Structure 1
Amino acid sequence: MKLHHKPYELCWFFLLGAFTYSLLEIVCRGYTHWTMTLTGGAAAVGLYLIRAAAPPKTRLLQCLCGALLITALEFTVGVADNLVMGWNVWDYSDMPLNLYGQICLPFTGLWFLLCIPAFGICRIAERRFHPAG
C-alpha cells in the first residue's frame, strides 16, 4: 500500500528526530551542535519514508537501510562541518574502521540497533497518520 505523506506528518518526524537526536547526544556527550539537530531531523524523515516504502516483514533490511542512510548523512555533514568548515564537531579518528574520522563501523552498528525502536515508532505513527479505512 503506497501512502501519501502530508507535509505536517513529515514535519512532525523532522521535529521528533531533531529533538531526540539532540537529547541523545547531550546525554551521551554533554553537548550537541545545531547541524546535528538538523541531521537528526533529516534522518528521522528518511527512516519514516523507508518504513512506509518497505515490504512487510523486512525489519532487518529496513534497519540495514536505515543504518546506511544515517551513516551517509553523518559522512556528508561531517565532511562539511569538520573537514570543509573546520568546526570540529566530532572526530572518529581514534575509532576502528573509520573513514577520514567522519564515520566508523561501530557507529554504523549502533545506528542499526537504534533503528529497531525507531521503526517501531514509525509504525505507530503511521497508524495514527493513516488509520485503516
Structure 2
Amino acid sequence: MEKRLQVEKYMILFAIGGMAYFFLEVLVRGYSHYTMFLCGGACFICCGLLNENKKIRISFLSQMVLSSVIITVLELITGLIVNVWLRMDIWDYSNLPYNFKGQICLLYSFFWFLVSSVAIVMDDFLRYKLFDEEKPHYKFL
C-alpha cells in the first residue's frame, strides 16, 4: 500500500478510536477531556496492530489480555503527563483499591480487558470494510 494511503488509514483509525474512547468515557463518567481522544486513538492503533502480523496468529483472548496491558500503560503515561506533570487533574483513582499513583487501577485494567473485545472486532471490521484488508478470523484460545 502506498505510504500516503497508509498514513491516511492510520489517521482514520486513530480518529475513530479516539472518538470511541472519548464517548465511552462520556457515557460512563458523564464527561471527558480532549486528551482522552488522543490517548484513545493511540490505544486503538496499538491494540489493532496486535493481530496484523500474518505469520504469527495470536488468540482473541491473548489479544484482549495484551490490549488491556497496552491501554493501562498508555493511560499511565497519559495520566503522569496530564495529571501529575501538567497538573490538569483529569482523573484520580487514589480512592480505588490497587491503584498506582492514582493514575491506573486494577478495576479499570479489567474493564479495559472487556472493552478491548469490542475494539479488536471494530478495528478488524474497519480494516476489512474501509481498507479492503483480509476478512477477520478468530480463534478464541
Q: Percent identity?
A: 31
* Structure 1 residue aligned with 2:79: 78
Distance in 2, matches of 1:57 and 1:74, equals 24
Q: Which amino acid aligns with 1:11?
A: M
Contact 2:13–2:41 (Cα < 8 Å) also in 1: yes
Structure 2: runs of 5+ lacking an equivalent: 135-141
* Structure 1 residue aligned with 2:119: 118
After TM superposition, give the deviation of residue 131 of structure 1 in Å. Answer: 4.0
Bigger drift between 64-73 and 5-14 goes to: 5-14
Bigger drift between 107-116 and 52-61 goes to: 52-61
SS of the residue 1:95 aligns to: coil
* Structure 2 residue aligned with 1:39: 39
Q: Give the root-mean-square deviation of aligned CA atoms.
A: 1.8
Q: Cα distance 1:131–1:40, how it changes in 2: closer, same or farther (>3 A)?
A: closer
Q: Tell whether 2:132 aligns with 1:130.
A: yes
Structure 1: runs of 5+ lacking an equivalent: none
Q: Tell whether 2:67 aligns with 1:62.
A: no
SS of the residue 1:6 aligns to: helix
After TM superposition, give the deviation of residue 105 of structure 1 in Å. Answer: 0.6
SS of the residue 1:90 aligns to: coil
* Structure 2 residue aligned with 1:13: 13
* Structure 2 residue aligned with 1:107: 108
SS of the residue 2:32 aligns to: coil
After TM superposition, give the deviation of residue 23 of structure 1 in Å. Answer: 0.8
Distance in 2, matches of 1:131 and 1:78, equals 34
